[in-house]
Amino acid sequence: MALFGKMDNLGADQPENQDKKKEITDVEKTRVLIIGSGPAGYTAAIYAARANLKPMLYEGLQPGGQLTTTTDVENYPGYPDGITGPDMMEDFKKQAERFGTDIRFGMATDADLSERPFKVTIDDNKIIEADALIIATGATAKYLGLEDEKKYAGSGVSACATCDGFFYRGKDVAVVGGGDTACEEAIYLAGLANKVYMIVRRDVFRASKVMQHRVFNTPNIEILWEHQTKGLYGDGVVEGAVLVKKKGTPEEEEVKIKIDGFFLAIGHKPNSDIFQDYLETDQVGYIKTIPGTTKTNVPGVFACGDVQDSVYRQAVTAAGTGCMAAIDAERWLAENS
């Protein structure tokens, strides 16, 4: 992995013809910088602040992270009656602020992790220099790009069966995708829902043979081969989907299915782009951490939450790794200050 991957064009020896980055003169220093404000970021802030590290946290474009797009959260300990995602994240934020976290609105747009202090550019116009960096930028679910996905977000459209499947007990739902994730989601939902449709674009699965076998042997899963989603419909909430079967062929036809829930299972994209010149990631972009820790390959840089977790992707596990990151950072600073 190239440490200075942003300097690939050094061979061009005519700087007058190159775009020059505006020199940023607004520079601020902090001991611990946290990028991201979901359960991982806020929990890291709570622990770091209580350790008197005086952390600075930038919330990003979506303060509160993915949970702010979730209506009801019923699987997080401590909320026996459930709570909305935005309200829960507001509770996390208040707790972080209570202990002295400097919470700011802004988006990290560039990073230089080649030396300490680490330099993170915010909104292209300010540089934060940090002795330790905690990355909690999360991951973004991939969507089909339909306008209806936005229209029914939180009202029948979900990208997490484990998070929202409970609300569809005894109902009919659909899962989009043909890989291992889609199969796992469909099998999980099949244990709750009355019926699960799998909308598969091709005429075969991309999933492993083991996962295919499990799907084929789950009686309430119906596979709709060679189907693509055209749109969703319903009065305020999802009541059905409009599909196109064998699109682009002489046999093309429109199909409607009645469903209450529409689950996307076509993958997630970790928000790690600006760090990939310095940090080891897997082929998808999830930041690699040393097992049992939140330490990355760069000493003093820690990753927590969904940006490094491709398996669980739950609020409670994200919060747990946020705690780990703060403790890892505290111990590392004590040894390297």
Please state at what angle helix 209-216 crosses helix 180-190, rounded to 10 degrees: 30
Q: In terms of C-beta density within 10 A (0-12 exposed, 13-18 middle, 19 or more buried), how is residue 321 classed?
A: buried
C-beta of residue 189 within 8 angstroms of C-beta of residue 196: yes
Identity at 198, one-letter amino acid code = M
Which is catalytic among the residues 72, 131, 164, 309?
164
CA angle (296, 302, 307) in 5-degree steps: 85
Q: Are 301 and 135 within 8 A, CB to CB? A: yes
Task: Return the SS3 of 157.
Answer: strand
Please provide residue 248's backbone torsions phi and psi, each rounded to the nearest 5 degrees: 80, 10
Per DSSP, helices labelled H in 180-271 are 180-190, 209-216
DSSP three-state, residue 246: coil
Is 164 annotated as catalytic?
yes
CA gap 36, 307 in Å, rounded: 10
Active site residue 183: no
Cβ atoms 304, 325 nearer than 8 A: yes
A 10 A CB-CB count for 314 gives: 17
**Whether 163 is catalytic:** yes
Beta bridge partners of residue 241, listed in sequence order? 232, 257
Q: Distance between CA 326 and CA 43 in Å, rounded?
A: 8
Catalytic residue (choose from 160, 172, 304, 306):
160
Q: Which of 72, 163, 304, 309 is catalytic?
A: 163
99-110 b/e (C-beta count within 10 Å ≥ 16 → b): bebbbeebbbee
Give the pair of three-digit tokens for residue 119: 């330099």
Residues with catalytic roles:
160, 163-164
